[in-house]
Amino acid sequence: MNNMLEQTSVSRRDFFRHVGAIGGCGTLLGAFPWLQSCSEDEKKEIAREKVTLAVIGTGSRGQYHLQNLRGLPNVEVTALCDDYAPHLKEAAALYPAARTYTDYRQALENRDIRAVLVATPLNAHPAITIDALEAGKHVFCEKSMALSPAECLAMYRAFKRSGKVLFIGQQRLYDPKYLRAIEMIHAGMLGEITGIRTYWFRNNDWRRPVPTPGLERKINWRLYREFSGGLMTELATHQLQVGNWAMKMIPETVSGFGDLVYWKDGREVYDNVSLVYRYAGGVKMTWESIISNRFYGLEEELLCSSGTMEFEKGKYYFEEIKPASGIMQLINQIEHQVFDRVSFAGPSWVPETAVKNTGYFVTDRVSSHDGASTTGFASDGSVELLAAFCEAAVTGRPAPNLVEEAYYSSVLALLGLQAMEEQRIVTFPDEYKIPYLNFA
């Protein structure tokens, strides 16, 4: 973990140097307003200030952030809060000097705390975030925002009233390979977007060990509707955001099916979902998740008239590829001559030219510790997102459009859940639409 931090989280300036090498820093800042640059005076201020931070929720995700925060220069974790003693004890071992709380409201009363990081179960996000903003704290809240569109809207309005910084945990917005891929898409490099396929496949029961039966719902909260929307709020929000980002708009409708197919163990959330989001003009974005088979992993595939983008792999492909070698073209011609005479293989079936489309990487290839060739950057954007939040908390300047990206992905995930539960096509309600600069 420390080696990873040394590579990815030294400072935000290093991050901008990386993205600048990919596509030109000025271009990226113009296309993605949350990647705002700081003035020279602000850089000096950031260099000498530390944000005092309280981490509320010290389970697996909270401790992941605590590990990453250790490598950032502009933050001091001064408080930890959790109502589950074992998690709080583990977090305190990482930060023994931090004050501990079991009630987040007591932490918010501490005037020495300037910012909070919320990594609690989803159902607690709205109350803690709104209370923290109203207490004058800057807030980093994990995704999704909330369990209902109304709660998401309440969080957004509290943010707008407060004048404080709010970040939501959508790390792809700071992932260099995603930034470069979106830049290429918006520049028209692959032509017109005609379809979007997204999926996230796993093979595990998503359960965690429970010391006593009475703690089942507290520890495995992701499996129960009182606390979570399951696959939609825990996974889909990441990938739905990418589709909106690429399209520069939100879908008009969503329909789909959700079922409990394999993990019939008392959980209340689906383990198998399939949805279709439809944009104006007819482009569809599909999202599928099954957690009883991991063969295809996860990916966001953008299908365009002149090519295809695979965001997670960091690769793109042109429809027109280099011609085959002379000998392969000759073989292909022979195949055409043979099969064109076969009755079952008329014009509806033609052998593909024998060339494999291997595509291109959106970023330069780099070497891993073992010398193997890999792609992209060591980080997925999580550390950069945290670093950006800490710096924004120092300057007090919110990142433009960042909350809006997260808001729409959260609401769309919840509308997808509604469509599955009610078994109907759901239209995006006008009352939940908010202004967003990137939507043309």
Residue 377 confidence (pLDDT) above 70: no
Q: What count of other Cβ atoms lies within 10 Å of the Cβ of residue 256? A: 20
Looking only at Cα atoms, what is the longest distance across the chain?
Answer: 83
Please compute the mean of the pLDDT values over residues 37-51 and round it to a whole number: 78
- Mean model confidence pLDDT for the chain: 87
Q: What is the CA radius of gyration of the chain?
A: 24
- Which pLDDT score is estimated for 363? 84
The one-character DSSP state at 65 is H
* CB neighbour burial string for 4-29, b if at least 16 within 10 angstroms, e if fewer: ebebbbebbeebbebbeebbebeebb
Alpha carbon 378 to chain centroid, angstroms: 16
Percentage of the chain modeled with pLDDT above 70 = 81
The three-state DSSP-derived secondary structure of 134-194 is HCCCEEEECCCCCCCHHHHHHHHHHHHHHCCCEEECCHHHHCHHHHHHHHHHHCCCCCCEE
The rounded distance, in Å, linking the Cα atoms of 58 and 80 is 7
* Residue-wise pLDDT tens digits, 411-421: 999 999 999 99
- Which pLDDT score is estimated for 373? 42
Q: Determine contact, residues 92/148, Cβ cutoff 8 Å.
A: no
Residue among 288, 349, 292, 353 at smallest CA distance from 321: 353
Token pair 């309280």 is found at 54
Q: Determine contact, residues 338/327, Cβ cutoff 8 Å.
A: no
What are 262's two structure tokens? 């394999």
Please compute the mean of the pLDDT values over residues 156-182 and round it to a whole number: 96
Residue 87 confidence (pLDDT) above 90: yes
* Residue-wise pLDDT tens digits, 336-372: 555 455 444 444 444 455 457 899 999 875 434 344 4
Residue 332 confidence (pLDDT) above 80: no
The rounded distance, in Å, linking the Cα atoms of 198 and 284 is 11
The rounded distance, in Å, linking the Cα atoms of 60 and 103 is 19
Crossing angle of helices 237-247 and 176-186, rounded to 10°: 30
* Residue-wise pLDDT tens digits, 54-74: 999 999 999 999 999 999 999
- Where residue 188 falls (left for φ over 0; alpha for ψ -120 to 50; beta otherwise) is left
Confidence of residue 141 (pLDDT cuts 50, 70, 90): very high
